[in-house]
Amino acid sequence: MLATGRRLWARARRARRWEEVSSSIDGFYAVKKHKTSKAWMHEHVTDHYVRRAKAEGWRSRAAFKLMEIAEKDGLLRPGMVVVDLGAAPGGWSQVAAERVGSGGRVLALDLLEMPPVAGVEFIQGDFREDAVLRGLTLRLGGPPVDLVISDMAPNISGIAVSDQARAMHLAELALEFAAGHLRPGGNFLVKTFQGEGFDAFRRAMAAVFGKVAVRKPKSSRDRSSEVYLLGLGRRPQLQEG
């Protein structure tokens, strides 16, 4: 395994242990979470991008986030091989499949079931499990990947430190996958949240990619700490062998 991958995997394992410990106190926040969920639902159903996604046939408002970033940075082109991590309900996969066309390939993975998307190969499984990762790698076969996109996010507990650790755990696993599967020069887009571990993760990305940029799409809610990190140009010296 790549040295970078080993370091990231160790950090991810630590984050996962923290996830297991923190889950024992989530129940204290159940009432607060219920109230917050009601407010979120009201905002969601009245949201401009939610209504637009429904009108235009996109599975989620997140489709507009990928469209904006892809257009700004030229991420999606016909014939590309794309892996979409945390794909359900399928908004990003829809955008990717439309942009790469019939000559490209989109492979999507999620723990949740996802109804079929035209032009997308779907694997259901937990990205944190080694067996699922091996299955994804075997399914890929053929040419190396041009682009890895990850909109993965943990279930939010309302406990900031726990939620941040969970989010960084997923981002680190996505980076390890990208480092090991992207072709030299390939790109990586990942959801992150500003907070503990963000700067260290950005430095880890800089060791893998020639350029790392922060993107905050217009369709990302202003109050959210959500940002996307974009790694451009996977460094060729990372190639195994």
pLDDT of residue 36: 55
Q: Is 126 annotated as a binding residue?
A: yes
Q: Is 47 annotated as a binding residue?
A: no
Query: Which is higher by pLDDT, 131 or 8?
Result: 131
Query: What's the CA gap between 78 and 56, in Å, rounded?
Result: 22
So where are the chain's domains?
Answer: 3-238
Domain spanning 3-238 has what CATH number? 3.40.50.150
Catalytic residue among 191, 211, 216, 218: 191
Task: List, in order, residues 6 or more apart from 62 with CB less than 8 Å away.
Answer: 91, 92, 151, 219
Q: Is 222 annotated as a binding residue?
A: no
Residue 219: which pLDDT band, with cuts at 50, 70 and 90?
confident
Q: Is 73 annotated as a binding residue?
A: no
Query: Any idea which of 80-84, 153-157, 214-218 has the lowest mean pLDDT?
Result: 153-157
For residue 218, indicate whether it is catalytic. no
Identify how many contiguous H helices and E strands the chain contains and give both numbers.
8, 7
- What tokens appear for 170 in the block? 């997923």
Q: Is the pTM of this model over 0.75?
A: yes
